[in-house]
Amino acid sequence: SAFRLLAAWIKPILPATVASAEEFLAKPIADFSVATTPLLGHRINAFTPLLGRIDRKQVEAMVAAVHRIPAT
């Protein structure tokens, strides 16, 4: 239930992530009243990660690339 409520809160900010969560839950999260209703006895789909982990080396490479861009 808490996951659905959190998804309802972030839906306007991360709609694609919440769409994946809705697919996982096999139930749309239309609004807060729906999100607070427990999914008792409801079958969910197989788990797939909603987001990937942030890799420190990739972040460092992006920061280094920005520093190499000449100032205008």
- Residues 10 and 27: beta-carbon distance below 8 Å: no
List the domain range (segments joined by +) for residue 15.
2-68
Distance CA 10, CA 52 (A): 17
Both tokens assigned to 53: 């982990």
Residue indicated by tokens 């969910």: 44
Name the pTM for this structure.
0.70
pLDDT by 10-residue block (mean), the chain, 72 residues: 92 96 94 88 93 93 88 72
Number of domains within the chain: 1
